[in-house]
Chain A
Amino acid sequence: MTTASAVRPASTEEAASALAELSSPVRPLGAGSRAEWGGPDAPGAVTVHTGGLDRIVAHNPGDFTAIVQAGVPFAELQRHLGREGQWLALDPPDRGGTIGGLVATADSGPARHRYGGVRDLVIGITVVLSDGTVARSGGTVIKNVAGYDLGKLFAGSYGTLGLVTQVALRLHPLPARTATLVAAIADPAALTAAVLAMSRHPLEAMALDVSWAGGTGRLLVRFGGVTAAARAADAAKLLHDVDTDVVVDDESIWAAQRSAQRGPAVVKVSALPTDLPAVIAAAGDATVVSRAALGVSYLCFPAGDDLAARVTAARAALAPRPTVVLDGARLVEGPWTAPDPGTLALMRSVKARFDPAGMFRPGTYVGGI
């Protein structure tokens, strides 16, 4: 038995032999850019660094797919793909994170509106389980229904089921041009009405966000393609008595939306588009970034003495809508709203089957899994 406090495998096989040797709790770790998310790991947990799994194994531009090891930095992958006019259509706030960390947390950004989340873009996955078993699911093609889809199960599992060593990803073409419709709307009900008016139309927008800060809001709708600016101007016609602007050089708007998803304390809310006024009301002094047509919002609380109390009050006001505290998870007793008992029992059963020894980050996940 090894007594190392950390291992750094350079291949799936090395990871498998390292894990087969270990019996203590382990914690997979990429760049640590979301290290504080989830519950605290057991003292003495062995860190499995994925930094050695650093290869872009394949990029098939013609097939719009790539095979990537878990430790590859997200930004490095996007640079690599960008040379061929392609990207992994995920744009989470990036603080130097890795692909493995992205998959483990299922983090996402504004592009989720159009392209879906991690679960929708992982087409194959390789994992190592606690007994050293190497398992693959999916493949390297976009369309495939052979076998169970473990990629989705592991996406957002926070490293509690096994170590993700490699993923196959679906890619998309980078848009030729982008343009963003910006509409300033100070009343939450009117803002929501504008969101619903937009989401009922076949805009094929790349992103549809709301930003709420300092008691006022903005609707942001981003378009991609050769006709992006014209479509943004057309979309403005759906809004009446609203100040609108079309911004062609729009990257900074979206960078701001992304970075407002991180902060001293961030609560992610699962709700419906029509819940937006309630989400804004519950936010208090927090800024709100909402994937408004998806109903998913991020409340970012400014630092201060009563931070924990403000977070707790907002979650209480949002209940029964499920919430998770991302940044600032340590401020609260349980970062996740507990699922129904039956659903939680099924999740525990999944955990018990995949990690019967309870090695992967015990006690850190939903419901104390």
Chain B
Amino acid sequence: MDGHELVERLRRVVGDRWLLLDEHELRTYESDGLLQYQQVPRLAVLPGTGEQVRACVAACAEAGVPWVARGAGSGLSGGALPVKDGVLIVLSRLNRILEVDLDNGRVCVEPGVTNAAVSTAVAPDFFYPPDPSSQIVCTIGGNVAENSGGAHCFKYGFTTNYVTGLEVVLADGTLVTIGGKELDPPGYDLLGAFVGSEGTLGVATKIWLRVVPVPEATRTLVAFFDSTRQAGEAVSAIVQAGIVPGAIEMMDATTIRAAEAMAHAGYPVGRGAALLVELDGAEAECDAQFTQVTSICAEQGSDDVRVSRDEAERALFWKTRKAAFPAMGRISPNYFVQDGVVPRTTLPDVLVRIDELAAEYGLTVANVFHAGDGNLHPLVCFDAAVEGQAARAEELAGRILDICLEAGGSITGEHGVGVDKRKHMAKMFGEGDLAAFQRLRCAFDPDGRANPGKVMPTPRLCGEVPGVYRQHPLEAAGLAERF
């Protein structure tokens, strides 16, 4: 199939209106949420059904053309960056909620449904816990690809803990069901392998999710400390006491200053750290633990603990936390958002090392983090107008990941590897590890057509596959079984 034939075949699949060939139209899709990387695809299709997705992938397979699936494009690692000569499959039209079964705590959705829409569909008694901060726009398909987390995942877990089944189109154009509406179907846990595979193993066209009852009570406080070390020790003390907060978020002095300038929540500018702690659960248990948390914060040196009195005040606390990224624009012309993980107990030391490094580079690094699980989001501030500063900031952001790895952590907690962190993969994983990843990739997509150039540090081919199982004609006919 030549290029022209592919275009015509895709046109027949999705219809003229949903096939984009014009470069100006395609520019809409040249980046995801990480704007440093841009690539216009050869063409884009916006299929309207799972079957159309399958037909598009099958056409790409026959034409030998790579493809990238895209949801809302809110990802922060370039995971949905198009491939130059490839097809971009935009899933925004697959936005139907197919089934809501609250007796069984299940929802079945198409990949283009937004994260927030799932919770809306099961409100007011149930909700869908993974809550990336982009939840109003980001799609469940994208969440599945990235194994998205969010502020509440320390207690509730990640996307992978909530997906029970998927209908997946593999790169050869076949449709398979992995997992199901029920738990534990026999065989390998392909679901566990697929969720978080960043679009490199196939594209999900139907997704079964577990939803859970909305907690009876929620209690939120913000405590201010003189230093991030003190606040970090408070986090450890809370968790050591056997308390698992719904969310536990920390901001450093720079972030407090920026966020307060935007949110006007009355945060004391000049304090070293703010800790937002939210407990949820059964009312009695929640109240008992909240008293404990309040006194732990005081014991660890906080002289300013503010408890939200109502939903409006709770919303204001969160507004300040969620303002942290956009607010940084008020104190710095540009910034990179880094995403690294460290064992929680190493937080205080890691923060000192980041400060030292920032001083060495002569740049400001503001810190916001999901403190419960040690997921750091250092914001590396720079001015792109100053020659060389962007490059220095990027180098600094990379060295922060080195610090995370030295502390026993990870190069990404929730943003994914995408294109942006491929260069760091070989620092975290050895050759044997990467080769094993490649085996999985080859099992799903031996020709490497699904989202090529992502996750793995260097392009790899699957090569000869002497051991690959081929069904014998007798087996196909049901006349023999292989043991």
In the bound complex, residues from chain B placing their C-beta under 8 Å from that of A96 are none
B441 to chain A, nearest CB (A): 8
Contact B242 A144 (CB under 8 A): no
B409 to chain A, nearest CB (A): 5
Residue in A closest to B439 when the chains form the complex, CB atoms: A353
Q: Is A27 an interface residue (CB 8 A)?
A: no
A60-B345, A143-B414 known; A202 vs B105 contact (CB < 8 Å): no
Out of A134, A342, A345, A358, which one reaches B432, CB within 8 Å?
A: A134
Within 8 A of A (CB), among B186-206: 186-193, 195-197
In the bound complex, residues from chain B placing their C-beta under 8 Å from that of A268 are 184
Among B6-14, B90-98, B248-256, B461-469, the one that faces the other chain is B461-469
Out of A133, A144, A337, A350, which one reaches B186, CB within 8 Å?
A: A337
- Bound-state CA distance A234–B146 (Å) is 39
- Bound-state CA distance A349–B373 (Å) is 35
Residue in B closest to A141 when the chains form the complex, CB atoms: B341
Interface size on A, residues (CB 8 A): 97
Contact B468 A202 (CB under 8 A): no
Out of A140, A149, A273, which one reaches B196, CB within 8 Å?
A: A149
In the bound complex, residues from chain B placing their C-beta under 8 Å from that of A151 are 192
Q: Is B68 an interface residue (CB 8 A)?
A: no
In the bound complex, residues from chain A placing their C-beta under 8 Å from that of B215 are 202, 204
- Bound-state CA distance A202–B180 (Å) is 24
- Bound-state CA distance A17–B339 (Å) is 37
Contact B104 A368 (CB under 8 A): no
Q: Is A68 an interface residue (CB 8 A)?
A: no
- Bound-state CA distance A340–B166 (Å) is 13
- Bound-state CA distance A150–B104 (Å) is 29
Within 8 A of A (CB), among B83-116: 102-106
- Bound-state CA distance A173–B289 (Å) is 14
In the bound complex, residues from chain A placing their C-beta under 8 Å from that of B341 are 139, 141, 143-144
Residue in A closest to B170 when the chains form the complex, CB atoms: A346
In the bound complex, residues from chain A placing their C-beta under 8 Å from that of B452 are none
Out of A127, A274, A339, A350, which one reaches B104, CB within 8 Å?
A: A274
In the bound complex, residues from chain B placing their C-beta under 8 Å from that of A321 are 182
- Bound-state CA distance A64–B157 (Å) is 15
- Bound-state CA distance A293–B190 (Å) is 23
Q: Is B284 an interface residue (CB 8 A)?
A: yes
- Interface residues of chain B, those whose CB is within 8 Å of chain A, are 102-106, 125, 146-147, 149, 153-154, 157-158, 160-161, 170, 174-178, 180-193, 195-197, 212-216, 236, 239-240, 242, 244, 281-282, 284-285, 288, 341-345, 370, 373-375, 408-417, 421, 425, 428-430, 432-437, 439-444, 455, 465-469, 471, 481-483
- Interface residues of chain A, those whose CB is within 8 Å of chain B, are 60-65, 85, 106, 116, 119-120, 127, 129, 133-137, 139-153, 155-157, 161, 172-176, 196, 199-204, 225-227, 230-231, 234, 268, 270-274, 293-296, 321-322, 324, 336-340, 342-358, 362-363, 365-369
